[in-house]
């Protein structure tokens, strides 16, 4: 089956204490987003990449591609006002519904070929495949002024890729308007009635959100060399 990857990169640098959008921060010689795209191409050089960026970032992206001699041959799509709308815009460019699509955060550059492979395999069999890890910490739930301990063995921390049979996830995104209940693509699919299949992600596959994450990512990349 034909394989697509929608890389969603709409974030700002606010939690990073940076003016530069997170996806454009340079990690080990080139911007995070290029690492992420290369991770998918290194899994399969024929995968069709759909990069969703704010329209206002297109020029910056093109400048970065020149600067880093990065030949981007995928489809560039303008994002919307929310992650939901951005993913929807990305999905709308896929004409072949009998395909598979991995939706992935632009700022998860450490995703491995193994994880991407597993996600496509499982999605082909089951319709959906969501990378997830078990928390290493005890968990509490806040309520009112207090909090209550909770059995962490039941909790899963959700990562990306979130991979689907394309027609299922397209239908799901077409069925709804954006809502705060949609924290990720799996939650949209779930509301549409798609069964959500989790698989074991990787603790290194972090979403770069805070300055510590940059330190971690740099260390993992230098370890890989």
Binding site residues, a second copy, CB under 8 A: 130, 132, 135-143, 146-149, 152, 154-159, 181, 183-184, 186-187, 190, 195-196, 198, 203-204, 206-207, 209-210, 212-213, 215-216, 218-220, 223
Burial (CB count <10 Å: 0-12, 13-18, 19+), residue 105: buried
The smaller minimum CB distance to a second copy, of residues 88 and 197, is found at 197
CB of 139 to a second copy, least distance (A): 6
Instruction: Give whichever of 8 and 49 is closer to a second copy, judged by the CB atom.
Output: 8
The encoded tokens of residue 36 equal 């992420």
Least CB distance to a second copy at residue 170 (A) = 20
Q: Which is nearer to a second copy, 66 or 149 (CB)?
A: 149
In whole angstroms, the minimum distance from the beta carbon of 212 to a second copy comes to 5
Q: In terms of CB distance, is 71 or 137 closer to a second copy?
A: 137
Beta carbon of residue 150, minimum distance to a second copy (angstroms, whole number): 8
Phi-psi region of 166 (alpha: psi -120 to 50; beta: other; left: phi over 0): alpha
Q: Which residue has the tokens 């492979």?
A: 117
Contact 4, 166 (CB under 8 A): yes
**Distance in Å, CB of 157 to a second copy, minimum:** 4
Give 11 or 47: the residue with its C-beta nearer to a second copy: 11
Contact at 8 Å (CB) between 108 and 207? yes
Q: What is the CA radius of gyration of the chain?
A: 17
Handedness of CA 213, 218, 219, 225 (dihedral sign): positive
Distance CA 93, CA 62 (A): 20
């Amino acid at each position: 089956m034909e394989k697509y990857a929608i890389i969603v990169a709409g974030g700002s640098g606010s939690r990073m204490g940076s003016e530069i959008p997170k996806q454009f921060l340079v990690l080990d010689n080139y911007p995070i987003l290029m690492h992420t795209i290369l991770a998918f191409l290194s899994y399969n050089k024929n995968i069709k990449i759909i990069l969703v960026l704010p329209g206002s970032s297109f020029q910056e992206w093109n400048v970065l591609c020149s600067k880093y001699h990065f030949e981007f041959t995928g489809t560039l799509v303008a994002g919307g006002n929310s992650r939901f709308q951005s993913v929807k815009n990305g999905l709308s460019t896929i004409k072949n519904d009998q395909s598979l699509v991995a939706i992935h955060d632009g700022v998860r550059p450490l995703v491995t070929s193994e994880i991407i492979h597993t996600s496509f395999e499982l999605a082909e069999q089951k319709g959906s495949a969501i990378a997830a890890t078990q928390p290493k910490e005890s968990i509490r739930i806040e309520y009112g002024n207090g909090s209550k301990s909770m059995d962490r063995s039941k909790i899963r921390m959700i990562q990306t890729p979130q991979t689907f049979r394309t027609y299922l996830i397209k239908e799901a995104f077409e069925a709804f308007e954006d809502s705060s209940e949609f924290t990720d693509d799996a939650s949209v699919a779930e509301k549409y009635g798609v069964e959500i299949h989790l698989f074991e992600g990787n603790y290194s596959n972090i979403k770069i959100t805070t300055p510590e994450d940059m330190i971690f990512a740099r260390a993992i990349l230098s370890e890989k060399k």
